[in-house]
């Protein structure tokens, strides 16, 4: 998505215990949004400062559905159980974004919420989807850019947020850091 938005990127896989950070944050009485910012901040801080100018972009998402917070599912049975409930209903996908400007060590944070309406999905469709690896890797047990896209009937808010990062919010956060989004575009001919 970031490449399609014109950015040159280098990926870094953070070694962060998301569950421990979430549990600790919620036990301290923080909101889900603040807990997600704590996780995204921890991810952003895993990139070492080496004197090279860069913007570290980190995020974390969860689906809030019927008062429950749905991170990544535990297993295929969990996917099946969740989708039995999600079918024909709506949830709120919440994504925390953290930008870390290096070497200056400036931080900008924000949260984007998108309402996701799920299609009526048959038990056979749910069972087949649960047997794929895709929902096991995603908050709320679905993705918008893969097999699960056919099961999302409507999005209110940022569609890119549902894919993992809200590009409109990232543009605003880069501006908070004193950087214009368009200055990050790479030339394509």
- Please indicate whether residue 60 is annotated as part of the active site: yes
Structure tokens at 56: 């570290």
Asked if residue 57 lies in contact with residue 93, where contact means CB atoms within 8 angstroms, the answer is: no
CA distance 40 to 181: 21
CA-to-CA distance for 29 and 144, rounded, in angstroms? Answer: 31
Alpha carbon separation from 170 to 6, 35, 122, 128, 187 (Å, rounded)? 13, 19, 36, 35, 20
SS3 of residue 144 by DSSP: coil
CA distance linking residue 171 with residue 9, whole number of Å:
15
Among 60, 66, 78, 124, the active-site one is 60
Catalytic residues: 60
């Amino acid at each position: 998505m970031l490449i399609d938005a014109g950015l040159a990127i280098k990926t870094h896989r953070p070694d962060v215990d998301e569950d421990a950070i979430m549990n600790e944050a919620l036990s301290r009485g923080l909101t889900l949004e603040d807990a997600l910012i704590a996780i995204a901040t921890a991810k952003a801080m895993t990139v070492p400062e080496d004197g090279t100018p860069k913007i570290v972009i980190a995020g974390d998402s969860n689906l809030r559905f019927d008062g429950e917070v749905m991170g990544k599912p535990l297993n295929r049975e969990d996917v099946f159980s969740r989708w039995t409930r999600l079918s024909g209903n709506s949830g709120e996908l919440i994504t925390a974004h953290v930008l870390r400007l290096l070497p200056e060590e400036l931080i900008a944070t924000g949260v984007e919420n998108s309402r996701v309406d799920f299609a009526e999905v048959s038990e056979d469709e749910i069972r087949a989807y649960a047997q794929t690896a895709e929902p096991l890797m995603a908050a709320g047990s679905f993705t918008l850019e893969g097999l699960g896209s056919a099961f999302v009937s409507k999005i209110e808010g940022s569609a890119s947020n549902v894919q993992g990062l809200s590009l409109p919010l990232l543009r605003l956060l880069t501006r908070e850091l004193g950087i214009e989004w368009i200055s990050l575009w790479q030339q394509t001919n």
